[in-house]
Every structure is written in structure tokens, then in C-alpha cells.
Amino acid sequence: MEMKERQFQEEMQYFNRKLSEVIEQKMQRCSNKILYDALNYIRDTGGKRLRPIICLLSAEAVGGSRDKALSTAVAIELLHNASLVHDDIIDENYIRRRNPSNPARYGEKRAIVIGDFLFGLSCEMLARCGVPEVVGLVSSAVSDIAMGQYLEFTLRVRNLQEVTEQSYLEVAALKTASTFMASTEAGAMLGGGSEAEIENLCNYGKNLGIAFQIQDDVLDICGDPAKTGKPVGLDIKNGERTILVIHALNHSNPSEKEYILEVLSRKRDISSSDIDRVRKIFINSGSINYAIRLSNELVRGAKNSIEELEDSEAKEKLMLIADFAAERIENQALAEFL
């Protein structure tokens, strides 16, 4: 574990230095204090930077140079952060990475502009790659994220009993996995990979991305806020049709099922005791264990997807990132809930 963590930290530190250079250049030309603060926020409170890191490693894993993929990796990280700003507005989430979210800091209207500003900066960085196919590929991820968010809305208003695991996975692929897929596919293209290598890395990104969404669902209800940086139970308060909800409705007794339906219909008037009871239902119905098993299957699928790539340090690091993902719930959840 120490070796994996050290190697990942090295990659994260490398990318953070490169991202800081881009942000510093932009901040020198930015006279608006709120936008200036937003750039500081991204630089100083960033997450694990998984998407840009796997973009750089994908380029190297097919024999290319990470330098060619750097501007695209930065663009994808900015795109991801822009989508998080808008997500926080939609979900009325006031905590992000253990800090006040952008809508909490500046209000919803200003936060919308901040998100748009980050999207614009992402486009600026993406244009530097100079490869139209990559520009089109990453641009498609923007529309996929929006479509995934829209479909998620439609699931919220549909009869819960009509929501299937397949519909959930479709949303996860669009809303979450699309940026992982864009990262690996763009990296492989910029690294000069073959069609087979590009496809294999794209599958790696898709499996890893969906696994992360499932893990987010579990951590939302079982996570330690000190480690996840987010409040507990936000999905329940927002009436989200998560994999846990879908599984529990099919594997709980009638009274428990009725309680889940009633809580999710309240539209945010939900107490901590409601969240505790829903969590208990998820545990008793085996829904949490099911979600963890499904996530682990997807992580194994991600690793299998790149098994045929030639052995390299970059391939090894991609494998380690998948292992890191498999350990994410264990590392961030409160043990008594698992």
C-alpha cells in the first residue's frame, strides 16, 4: 500500500505543478476577485486528479510522451471542476472537499458564471493539443455529462419501481464515466496508440468511471465526512435513484420498501434519523455489499482491459490506480457500516 500511495502521490504532485503553472498564468490576467478566488480554489483544494493522471499515463502506456497530452489533461481537469461547480448548484451541496462549495461561497448565480468560466478555460487548453479528433472527443464528453445530468433528473421524477439498474448504469456512464473515457482515449490517441490500444484504454476508463460512481453512492451514505469531504446522505435528500436504492427496493420487506419510497418523496425534508434508518435498510437488504461487489467487478474489468498492453511503468501505474479505486470505500467509509 505504501508503494502504491507513494507512486500515486508522485503523479499527483507532478500534475499539480503543471496545473499551477496554467492557473498562475491565467490569474495574472484576471482582474475579477471572484474568478481569481475560484482559480485559487481549484489549485489549492483539488481532489485526487485521477482523470488528468490517467490521461498522461495512457499516452505513455502506448509508447508516447506525456508532454503531448499535458494540455489535454489540464483541459479535462478544468472540465471536471466546472461540472462539479454546476453539480453543487443543482444538488444544493454546500460542502466540497472539506471546504465551502462555490455556490456556498458566492451564491448560485455567481457560481454558474464560475462554472462557465472554467468550461471556457478548459476549451482554451484543449485547443492547444492541435489534434481535431481529440478536441472533438473531449468536447463530446461535455455533452455526455449534460445528458447524464438530464437523465438523472428524469429518474428522480419517475416512479421508483420503474427505475432499473440498467437505467442507473446508463446515467453513470454518461455523467461520470465519460470524463474517464475521454481521458484514456485522448491520452492514447495523443500517444500514437493503435486502434486496439485506444479501445482497450477507453474500456479501462469506462469501467473505472462507473465503479467510481457506485463508490460515491456507497460513500454518500456510509462515508466518513472527515475523509470524503462531503456531508452524509445528500443523495437521499435529493431523491437520487442510486444503485443502493434500486437494489434495496427489490430486496427489502414491504414496510422497509414503503419507508424508502416515503422518504425519497419528501423533497429534502429529511432528518439524520431518516438517513440512519435508510442506511440500516441498505445494510440489512445486502444493498451495500452488492454495490461493493459490483464496483469491484468493474475495477477487475478495467484491469483486464489493459492486460494486453505492453508492460511498462505507465501500465503498472494504471493498474495501481485501479487497485487504489478498489480500496476507496474501505479507506473512506466508517467501518461500522460495512
CA–CA separation, 293 and 252 (whole Å) = 18
pLDDT band for position 34 (cuts 50, 70, 90): confident
Please determine, for residue 7, whether its predicted confidence score (pLDDT) is greater than 70. Answer: yes
Phi, psi of 329 (to 5 degrees): -65, -45
The stretch 51-79 carries a mean pLDDT of: 96
Q: Supply 153's cell numbers.
A: 433528473
Phi, psi of 327 (to 5 degrees): -95, 0
- Mean pLDDT rounded to a whole number for the chain: 90
CA–CA separation, 170 and 160 (whole Å) = 16
The stretch 203-216 carries a mean pLDDT of: 97
Res 266: pLDDT: 80
The stretch 111-137 carries a mean pLDDT of: 92
Torsion of CA 170, 173, 175, 176, to 10 degrees: 150
- The fraction of the chain above a pLDDT of 70, given in percent, is 98
**CATH code, residues 2-337:** 1.10.600.10
pLDDT tens digits along 135-180: 999 999 999 999 998 998 888 777 777 789 999 999 999 999 999 9
pLDDT band for position 268 (cuts 50, 70, 90): low
Most confident of 23-27, 104-108, 153-157, 253-257: 253-257
**CA gyration radius, the chain:** 20
Q: Which of 165, 169, 142, 161 is nearest to 86 (CA)?
A: 142
CA–CA separation, 315 and 93 (whole Å) = 36
The stretch 35-64 carries a mean pLDDT of: 88
Least confidently predicted of 39-53, 70-84, 143-157: 39-53
Res 267: pLDDT: 67
- Phi/psi zone of residue 189: left (φ > 0), alpha (ψ -120 to 50 degrees), beta? alpha
CA–CA separation, 236 and 250 (whole Å) = 17
Q: Supply 44's cell numbers.
A: 489549492
pLDDT band for position 2 (cuts 50, 70, 90): low
Res 35: pLDDT: 78
CA–CA separation, 183 and 205 (whole Å) = 7
pLDDT tens digits along 278-313: 999 999 999 999 999 999 999 999 999 999 999 999
Residue holding cell 467501518? 335
- The SS3 of residue 223 is strand
Res 228: pLDDT: 86
- Report whether 84 contacts 194 (CB < 8 A): no
Please determine, for residue 3, whether its predicted confidence score (pLDDT) is greater than 60. Answer: no
pLDDT: is 198 or 155 the higher one? 198
CA–CA separation, 302 and 208 (whole Å) = 6
CA–CA separation, 217 and 291 (whole Å) = 9
Res 281: pLDDT: 97
Q: State pTM to two decimals.
A: 0.92
- Report whether 239 contacts 265 (CB < 8 A): yes
CA 165 to chain CA centroid, Å, is 19
- Report whether 74 contacts 19 (CB < 8 A): yes
Res 185: pLDDT: 98
